[in-house]
Amino acid sequence: MSNVCLPLRWENGALGLLDQRLLPGQEIFLTCRTLEEIHAAIRDMVVRGAPAIGFTALYGMALWLAGRETFRHAEWRAAGEYLKTARPTAVNLMYETDRTVAQALARFPEGTAAAEVHRHVLADAHEHVEALRAKNTFMAETALQELTGLYGDRPLTFMTHCNTGVLACGVMGTALGVVTHAHARGRVAMVYADETRPYMQGARLTAFELAKEGIPYHLVVEGAASWLLQHKQVDAIFVGADRIAANGDTANKVGTSTLAIVAKHYGVPFYVVAPLSSFDFNLASGKDIEIEMRHEDEILAWKEHRVAPVGARALNPSFDVTAAEHITGIICEGGIVRHPTTVTMARLRSPL
Catalytic residue set: 242
Q: Vertex 19, ends 14 and 23: CA angle to 5°? A: 155
Q: Which residues of 212-229 are buried (b: 16+ CB within 10 A; e: fewer)?
A: bbebebebbebeebbebb
Name the residue type at position 149. Answer: G
Strands 335-338 and 329-332: antiparallel
Please give the Cα distance from 330 to 241 (Å, whole number).
10
Residue 278 CB-half CA count within 13 A: 33
Please give the Cα distance from 201 to 207 (Å, whole number).
9
CB-CB contact of 143 with 331 (8 Å)? yes
Closest CA to 94 of 316, 341, 289, 348: 289
Please give the Cα distance from 261 to 326 (Å, whole number).
6
ω into residue 24 within 30 of 0, thus cis? Answer: yes
Following DSSP, what letter does each residue of 117-131 receive, concatenated? Answer: HHHHHHHHHHHHHHH
Q: Considering Cα of 138, then 96, then 318, then 202, what sign does the dihedral take?
A: negative
Query: Phi and psi at residue 329, in whole multiples of 5°?
Result: -165, 150
Element (H, E) at 80: helix 73-83
Element (H, E) at 159: strand 156-160
